[in-house]
Amino acid sequence: MSTPREPLHKGMLVGGIVVGLVLGLVVGGFGAAILGYTLVRKAEREARLRWALVPVIVPQRDFAPGEVLKLDDLAQRSAPEQLVTSSMVRSDSAANLVGQALTVPVQAGEPLRWAFLAAATEKLEPSERRLSEECQRALDLQPDRPRPDRTAGKIRERLVGGGSP
């Protein structure tokens, strides 16, 4: 005959319940994470199916103000038509950019806009150009006004370094 088993003591029973609950929570959390990720990816795919993509022009490297665009510096990227405005340069106008100087710093991959080009500011009406120059002079006279950084890299360095905006 076998000897009778000793009954489990209360500590072992509580420990088993705790281990079971923790294991169940971990497995359940992992399953919920997978389900959530799958649902988000499905919603993304469904939203993108309705997008009509339009090619826009982007620079392949960072540019500082005054730099001249070359054909080798430009690339094409697709963007949703709903987000592309008439101010953005589309791929069929890329030839018009070559040899143009930029007036603002532009990061690689950022869609180029017509307003970023020096030629765009030259096409302003005389009254608009005069107003723009007067605004710039008024801003330059403000001694405590922060001066704009010359490149996107310097802006990034200032922000990451904790400098004032």
pLDDT digits (tens, 9 = 90+) for 46-60: 887 878 888 999 999
Domain ranges of the chain: 10-50, 53-160
Nearest C-alpha neighbor of 64 from the set 16, 21, 7, 103: 103
pTM: 0.49
Tokens at 67, concatenated = 């730099």
pLDDT digits (tens, 9 = 90+) for 117-130: 876 655 555 555 55
Q: Is 104 exposed, middle or buried (0-12, 13-18, 19+ CB in 10 A)?
A: middle
**Are 57 and 96 contacting, i.e. CB atoms less than 8 angstroms apart?**
no
**Are 112 and 57 contacting, i.e. CB atoms less than 8 angstroms apart?**
yes
- Fold exhibited by the domain 53-160: Type Iii Antifreeze Protein Isoform Hplc 12 (3.90.1210)
Other beta carbons within 10 Å of 28: 10
